[in-house]
Structure 1
């Protein structure tokens, strides 16, 4: 066979180079008309860049470079064509303060996506002070994830969300690491990471300071691992509230190596009373440091934030819950409180090496109602659990 000509070789090499480069491409929002001038609404520019990135048959990166970008709202929808999609936020994305614009359930949403990465060291500024306690409309979450799987969110800052900072619904296999979430302690409903109907979620090595739960897990939260989180101010790391709908289930939750500082609660499970049937099972809180926490260990089956509820019983069964190596200081005398349902007592509650001291004069105590289980190791405060054959 005749040897290829010089031009044929150049063409083949050039085609190969193009094919190689086609695998990865950066879509810079500036090339789509975005302006980091703090004023211009960049929603359309961001979405146009996303559309092209989503169509790219390879790995695509949506780049938000340095600058302050006003975005009224954006929904980034998949599925996308390529093997993976990254959103690199290097600048600041800022939310509007006009309620005619922001009255919505979400500000920035990612949905129906597989293999997503969000990173870059940038900041999402919800400008929540414009809405906290002032607007009666629905306040938006900063980042909403709906039906997202195989995603990583890391090295991102979220501040002053109008409502939840990160909100997950029906997601699978997502990891949050090295995220910073900040809002004042008196900002309402600014949960750091809120999840429901989601499985295989990890929250690692992050700092969360909010006016509500640092992390909240409601119905359908399964196989959740939380480690290395510093929480405070806020309402703690919470399961619930549960029981408003039928057959709500939370199971396989593992919270480890976390520090809670001056939070309203520490490790908490909360259900409404009265409530529909449901269950909370296989829960572990371990190696947790409490610093001036008001309710370090708390199961509350008469949850009622409005203080205008009945004392009827909860129908949510709480079972197989372990608190291991919980230490530090409590701002309340009752450092361990199990206020469980009379109809469905808490079962298989395990306390091991609890070492909590009162941040005041005197000693901490335990308070138990309808709670069955056992305590081993260090007991400070002394356990009030009732043993049973089914504990």
Structure 2
């Protein structure tokens, strides 16, 4: 077991969990304590590890000490009709955290929490996220990548028909920098038919994550390619609605933007226009089609 957990299902095949009850982690008593990055991981409300062919429906999770739900080393697990809730300022309360798992389907769920609504790290493959409402939180994220030794790739992620409201990020891919960052890949990713409602960073690829101190001299070695943003519309609270900051040693390749329609609703800042803009660095093979608001960057 990688981290502490309250309830865990381990090494099972053909699991069915159907409820109507609520898992209350009573995390508020712990959130005020500063454990630091080296501190122990706080317990997850519900963990699935080495579980195959599972169905999970109609569960609620509130106020975990750590993550709400973790999916680790699983294959073919479906999570439907979930209600996940914690305050916007609750630390590290990821809604659903996926790693080293294949064929994970999440649908018809509502996630309001203090960190990523859904986070996918190393080894997440064939992931489907549909009809999810996210917010508050840090959005739907791939990464951080490049953190672990011999890190497995992320590929085949589809996020479709989702709504993000009042989140710090919308659709995000983030990778680590630094001397210990490891090379891996993130590819074949589709974000389609997404609504943003007052989202701070609607579209963001951040390969300068944790770029401070000694890490500044070490670009991310993670390769990002074949990422598609299709039919993304709504409002941004940041003037820079599309941010693409790729690695200078392995530039992003084949990024598609089709029908991007984002309006700026924040207060205009000095020296910045009252409309959204885009920024792109170290990206090759950019393609555009349909509406482009903010204007495309090349």
Normalising by structure 1, we get a TM-score of 0.70
State the structure with bigger RCO (CA 8 A, min sep 6), 1 or 2: 2
Render the CA deviation track for 1:130-156: whole Å, top value 9, x for unaligned.
111326343100001110011111111
**Could you tell me which residue of structure 2 aligns to residue 299 of structure 1?**
205
Contact 1:248-1:277 at 8 Å conserved across structures: no
**Could you tell me which residue of structure 2 aligns to residue 369 of structure 1?**
281
**Could you tell me which residue of structure 2 aligns to residue 105 of structure 1?**
4
CA distance in 1, matches of 2:235, 2:22: 33
Contact 1:297-1:335 at 8 Å conserved across structures: yes
1:148 has 2:51 as partner: yes
CA distance in 1, matches of 2:126, 2:88: 29
| Structure 1 moving runs of 4+ over 2 Å | 135-138, 245-248, 307-312
CA distance in 2, matches of 1:309, 1:191: 28
Match 2:160 to one of 247, 256, 279 = 256
Contact 1:122-1:157 at 8 Å conserved across structures: yes
CA distance in 1, matches of 2:152, 2:262: 32
1:163 has 2:66 as partner: yes
CA distance in 1, matches of 2:261, 2:5: 41
Render the CA deviation track for 1:343-369: whole Å, top value 9, x for unaligned.
000000000000000013411000111
Q: Supply the RMSD in Å over aligned alpha carbons.
A: 1.4
Structure with greater proportional helix content:
1
1:316 has 2:229 as partner: no
CA distance in 1, matches of 2:56, 2:214: 39
Larger radius of gyration: 1
Corresponding pairs, count: 282
Match 1:353 to one of 240, 254, 259 = 259
Q: CA deviation at 1:247?
A: 3.9
SS in 2 for 1:310: helix
SS in 2 for 1:229: strand
When residues 149 and 321 of structure 1 are mapped into structure 2, their CA distance, relative to the original with a 3 A threshold, is same
When residues 181 and 343 of structure 1 are mapped into structure 2, their CA distance, relative to the original with a 3 A threshold, is same
When residues 309 and 230 of structure 1 are mapped into structure 2, their CA distance, relative to the original with a 3 A threshold, is farther
**Could you tell me which residue of structure 2 aligns to residue 202 of structure 1?**
105
